[in-house]
Amino acid sequence: MQPKKFQRPIKQNPNRINREINVHRVRLVGDDIEPGIYDTSTALAMAQDMEMDLVEISPQADPPVCKIMNYQKYLYDKKKKEKELKAKQLKQVLKEIRFTSQTDDHDFDFKAKHAEKFLQEGAKVKAYVHFRGRAIVFKEQGEILLLKFVERLKEFGNIEQMPLLEGKRMFVYISPKKKNN
């Protein structure tokens, strides 16, 4: 048995172009063209005269809608726009801060300062109290600690949900406040 060779998948055009359009009549739109219903052969001839492509835009319409354009330039512009949109997307960073039910005031202040810095940088903060062993009986202390933490950070971020106990952890999410530019 021979090993299979890797074959790169062939990308098919999302739109049918030129001779791939196999209907008799099309609705033609485009720049410098009188919109209307034309025979496909006539539309192809018009596209060739303009040294452009006949591209099927809406195949579900009756008759299908086609446009005369430079297809390679259209694909290039489309890819460029997608890349710009992807670059503009904001990637949300999540920073975790861990407490215990017996966290000291100094440790609390130290962690709160770090959380302030994270929120100012635009990161989301997940603060949680981890209960070890029998410490779960102090869950009220953990909730008070988290509420105090949220109160301390209210000028830098907004609470997404009240403290929630899941297993041996009680956690709260704080998202950064939107900057007014």
Which runs of consecutive H residues, i.e. helices, occur in the chain? 40-49, 71-88, 105-120, 139-152
Residues of the chain falling short of pLDDT 50: 181
- Per-residue pLDDT, 110: 92
**CA quadruple 84, 86, 90, 96: dihedral positive or negative?**
negative
Answer whether 0.85 is exceeded by the pTM: no
- Per-residue pLDDT, 10: 54
- Per-residue pLDDT, 94: 86
User: How is residue 153 written in tokens?
Assistant: 């950070």
Residue with tokens 């000028």: 155
- Per-residue pLDDT, 56: 86
- Per-residue pLDDT, 57: 85
Instruction: Report yes or no: 146 and 129 within 8 Å, Cβ to Cβ.
Output: yes
- Per-residue pLDDT, 4: 63
Query: Which domains, from first to last, does the chain contain?
Result: 18-78 (3.10.20.80), 94-176 (3.30.110.10)
- Per-residue pLDDT, 12: 64
Strand 36-39 and strand 25-29: the pairing is antiparallel
